[in-house]
Amino acid sequence: MRLNQTSSDSVTLRQNAPAKINLGLHVIRRRADGYHDLETVFLRIGWADTVTVAPADTLRFSCSDPALPADDSNLCVRAARLLAGHAGIPARASIHLEKWVPYGAGLGGGSSDAATTLVLLDTLWQLGLDAATVHKLAARLGSDVPFFLGPAAAYGTGRGERLTPLMDAADAPYRCPFTIVVVKPNVAVGTADAYRWIVPKETERPDLRALVAGNDLGRWRRELVNDFEEPVFERFPELRTVREGLLGDGAGYAAMSGSGSAVFGVFDSSERAHQSASRWTQAGYACWTGSADGAARQPL
Ligand code: C5P
């Protein structure tokens, strides 16, 4: 978090809100509350929005992207109101969102913005909430929101809000050693729709944690499955073409993220990844490449 104190009563707090991809996503069963139990590995990537908060007399929200709703439906605004309501204080802050991560993409951009807003306003309003309380508030904002409060790679269950850090074979926090290319086709997939298209499946599932932590791209390609892919690819064949294109570019593994529409390739050569990203950018796609933990390289 960056803190710019320009005078005693003017504090600006700024923090990146990184996106995620899913390495495998199993939709296990539909629940009585309408949600689905799933299991997935979430991995944070360096493609990020930036959230800035500052003191104000009322709640104000602005965004670099005029297409994004700036009313009470916006997840940053909802996060601010939820936090203020919990703390029993008026929601007074000005929030600015610099939007870089595409939405309707399965990259968790809005969820990450919401998580970041909670963390920044907890500091700005000097609430000092404990991590469990912030996690609970985050889960009320959306199933993916809690992930953005924790480690860079996590195994998610429940509706995605139950998280354990992903560890490697030596029991150290998992680090993805590959270069990732994310391509966003100009298609928006509604998450609730995508869940409706799926037939949940409980059995014959590989152990996602061991599979990811093994870092064997050949095995990832054979065994790592995102259940959303088939029903979404059926309706939006362009996404399958993008996945095949990334594999053709030399990705050892490629898949759709979450319920789409972003598709990512995982490369063991950063040079090939960069070449691939340049190609997709030249073809008119929104595209990002970089390592999982930051070190982003935006193709020209
Ligand atoms: O939790 P979130 O607001 O992101 O979920 C959006 C919609 O996606 C839910 O209303 C629900 O229809 C669906 N969903 C689901 N099971 C999950 C997560 C989301 O059915 N685990």
pLDDT tens sequence across 270-289? 999 999 999 999 999 999 99
Query: What's residue 1's pLDDT?
Result: 61
Query: What's residue 292's pLDDT?
Result: 80
Query: What's residue 28's pLDDT?
Result: 98
DSSP codes, the chain: -EEEEEETTEEEEEEEEEEEEEEEEEEEEE-TTS-EEEEEEEEEEEEEEEEEEE--SSEEEEES-TTS--STTSHHHHHHHHHHHHHTS---EEEEEE--S-SSSSS-HHHHHHHHHHHHHHHHTT----HHHHHHHHHHH-TTGGGGGS-SEEEEETTTTEEEE-B-TTSSBP---SEEEEEE-S----HHHHHHT-----SS---HHHHHHTT-HHHHHHH--BTTHHHHHHH-HHHHHHHHHHHHTT-SEEEE-TTSS-EEEEES-HHHHHHHHHHHHHTT-EEEEEETTEEEE---
pLDDT tens sequence across 252-274? 999 999 999 999 999 999 999 99
pLDDT tens sequence across 29-70? 999 999 999 999 999 999 999 999 999 999 999 999 999 999
197 ligand 1 Cβ < 6 A: no
From the alpha carbon of 141, which atom of ligand 1 is closest? 3
- Average pLDDT for residues 229-251, to the nearest whole number? 98
pLDDT tens sequence across 25-39? 999 999 999 999 999
40 ligand 1 Cβ < 6 A: no
> pLDDT band for position 4 (50/70/90)?
low
pLDDT tens sequence across 80-139? 999 999 999 999 999 999 999 999 999 999 999 999 999 999 999 999 999 999 999 999
From the alpha carbon of 27, which atom of ligand 1 is closest? 21
Query: What's residue 297's pLDDT?
Result: 41
142 ligand 1 Cβ < 6 A: yes
Percent of the chain whose predicted confidence (pLDDT) is above 90: 92
